[in-house]
């Protein structure tokens, strides 16, 4: 088995990021050091000290409850397979992660919004406008939450730069119109004895994820290979490293495998996957490469990695792949290639 990449933590660390909003650089550096320590220790942490207000969160939750209470046939009017840029409603069982377990959740997915036709879809298949359900207040409330958490992501990005001893604005040029997706996830209680997971084990594909969960269910793999419960905390987000930061840092920061177990009570979860722009080439930065630590990841376009992983996990896209309507980007990595669990899987079963 490969070396442990995180500690054998038994609970997620907490990071107060209020210092990242300070005028004094040294205060921002202090907060960034705590951020970096949590990422190296666990790759996952509770984030407090943010500036996303309660009213914004309550508005999002109310709209999620209203949408998922609709009849199935009404939700399927917004089926993601009808969109041209992978946005809309995802019914239960649509996603299949490594190992073949179908998810038990349903979702409504939206992304960074651009005017139709402003970006060539052949260069960025995720670009364009969102699908908005015809529910009173949905667009204002959900769009408002997206903007607030996306701005938190920009603040975190500067913190990651400082934590890695890079200039504070180092990553800013890579984030202009990224395919940063917000997923509104709904996990209904499922008493079926053959159902064991709500969402299968995986890592996230982007730079990092800012998650707002409402009830327990999230489990995170620690450095000893144990699944650790990560219940929600009041006024806290859960943040984790994604594949892109693992590649950029040549494994200095590692994406952590996680899953959601079968839930006994209704659960909502709202991850925003903070990405860089589709065309950005991601490869180990020179600061993290040496003779003793050669580059472990070949260069890849950030968007193509996201696209390849998405193509391999959504049923409607896999069907289009099998029919030859779509193709994987050159050099696409298989699912579960990152994180501690992924490294073990692919050492045992190389492709």
Domains of the chain: 14-348 (2.60.120.330)
pLDDT at position 114: 83
E strand spans, the chain: 14-16, 44-48, 88-90, 106-110, 181-187, 197-202, 208-213, 218-221, 227-229, 237-241, 258-261, 267-274, 281-282, 300-301
pLDDT at position 193: 56
Please give the Cα distance from 205 to 304 (Å, whole number).
10
pLDDT at position 88: 98
Split the chain (351 residues) into runs of 10 and give each run's mean pLDDT.
71 98 98 97 97 98 98 97 95 75 83 76 83 97 98 98 97 95 91 62 91 95 94 96 95 91 88 96 96 94 92 92 92 66 44 38
**Do residues 78 and 108 lie in contact, with contact meaning Cβ atoms separated by under 8 Å?**
yes
pLDDT at position 345: 41
Question: Closest by alpha carbon to 336, among 200, 187, 239?
Answer: 200
pLDDT at position 98: 53
pLDDT at position 101: 57
Distances (CA, A) of 268 to 2, 213, 232: 35, 6, 11
Please give the Cα distance from 205 to 335 (Å, whole number).
10
- Provide the whole-model pTM: 0.91
């Amino acid at each position: 088995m490969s070396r442990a990449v995180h500690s054998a933590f038994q609970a997620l660390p907490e990071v107060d990021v209020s210092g990242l909003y300070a005028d004094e650089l040294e205060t921002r550096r202090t907060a960034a050091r705590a951020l970096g320590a949590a990422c190296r220790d666990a790759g996952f942490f509770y984030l407090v000290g943010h500036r996303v207000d309660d009213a914004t969160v309550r508005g999002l939750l109310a709209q999620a409850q209203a949408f998922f209470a609709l009849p199935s046939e009404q939700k399927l009017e917004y089926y993601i397979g009808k969109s041209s840029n992978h946005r809309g409603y995802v019914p239960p069982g649509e996603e299949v992660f490594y190992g073949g377990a179908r998810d038990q959740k349903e979702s409504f997915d939206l992304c960074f919004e651009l005017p139709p036709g402003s970006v060539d879809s052949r260069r960025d298949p995720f670009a364009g406008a969102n699908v908005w359900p015809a529910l009173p207040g949905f667009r204002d409330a959900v769009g408002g939450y997206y903007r607030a958490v996306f701005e938190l992501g920009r603040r975190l990005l500067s913190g990651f730069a400082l934590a890695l001893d890079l200039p504070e604005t180092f990553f800013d040029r890579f984030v202009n119109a990224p395919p940063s997706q917000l997923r509104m996830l709904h996990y209904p209680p499922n008493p079926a004895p053959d159902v064991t997971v709500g969402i299968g084990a995986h890592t996230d594909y982007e730079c990092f994820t800012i998650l707002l969960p409402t009830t327990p269910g999230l489990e995170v793999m620690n450095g000893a290979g144990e699944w650790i419960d990560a219940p929600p905390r009041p006024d806290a987000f859960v943040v984790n490293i994604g594949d892109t930061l693992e590649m950029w840092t040549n494994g200095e920061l590692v994406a952590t495998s996680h899953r959601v177990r079968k839930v006994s009570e209704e659960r909502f979860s709202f991850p925003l996957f903070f990405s860089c722009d589709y065309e950005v080439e991601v490869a180990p930065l020179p600061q993290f490469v040496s003779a003793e630590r050669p580059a472990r990841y070949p260069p890849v376009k950030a968007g193509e990695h996201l696209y390849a992983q998405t193509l391999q996990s959504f049923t409607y896209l896999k069907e289009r792949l099998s029919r030859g309507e779509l193709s994987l980007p050159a050099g696409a990595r298989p699912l579960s290639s990152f994180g501690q669990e992924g490294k073990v899987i692919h050492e045992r079963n190389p492709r």
